[in-house]
């Protein structure tokens, strides 16, 4: 069952995201922050590696992104399938990028803890 945490007083909407491994033999359920204005899906490089994808592959295309730290180029790859909020998408293009820990704790953890502690 998909889990979506929505608390109007929190800064983010948190939900579950199911990613299929590169070998199609397993999948990983991860919590994500839903950004309704996003045009890209970003997944941490260690999660992509755990699923058998190779974010360090020099043949991957790079996507220019603008972050709080400046301009960066993130590897772009395709996951076999992804599912969230009752919808499944095959061949989803994602960027492999690590969000700084301070941003993660500010946006994500605040939402998770404020939603689960009520």
Domain boundaries, the chain: 4-116
Torsion over CA: 111, 113, 116, 118 (sign): negative
> Percentage of residues in the chain with pLDDT exceeding 70?
82
Q: What b/e readout covers 21-47, taking b as 16+ CB neighbours within 10 angstroms?
A: bbeeeebeebebbbeeeeeebbbebeb
Measure CA 117 to chain center: 23
In the structure, what pLDDT confidence band is assigned to residue 105 with cuts at 50, 70 and 90? Answer: very low
Q: Is 3 left (phi over 0), alpha (psi -120 to 50) or beta?
A: beta
Q: What is the mean pLDDT of residues 67-95?
A: 92
| pLDDT given for residue 63 in this prediction | 93
| pTM exceeding 0.85 | no
CATH 2.40.70.10 is right for the domain spanning 4-116: yes
In the structure, what pLDDT confidence band is assigned to residue 28 with cuts at 50, 70 and 90? Answer: very high
In the 8-state DSSP scheme, what is residue 11? S
The pLDDT mean for the chain works out to 82
**CA gap 34, 23 in Å, rounded:** 27
For residue 88, pLDDT over 90 is answered with: yes
| Most confidently modeled range among 30-34, 49-53, 63-67 | 49-53
Of the candidates 117, 118, 112, the residue with the CA atom closest to the CA atom of residue 5: 112
């Amino acid at each position: 069952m998909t889990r979506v945490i929505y608390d109007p007083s929190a800064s983010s909407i948190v939900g579950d995201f199911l990613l299929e491994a590169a070998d199609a033999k397993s999948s990983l359920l991860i919590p994500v922050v839903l950004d309704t204005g996003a045009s890209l899906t970003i997944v941490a490089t260690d999660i992509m590696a755990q699923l058998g994808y190779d974010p360090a592959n020099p043949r991957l295309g790079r996507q220019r992104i603008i972050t709080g730290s400046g301009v960066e180029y993130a590897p772009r790859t395709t996951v076999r399938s992804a599912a969230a909020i009752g919808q499944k998408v095959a061949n989803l293009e994602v960027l492999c990028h690590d969000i700084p820990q301070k941003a993660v704790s500010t946006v994500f953890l605040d939402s998770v803890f404020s939603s689960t502690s009520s």
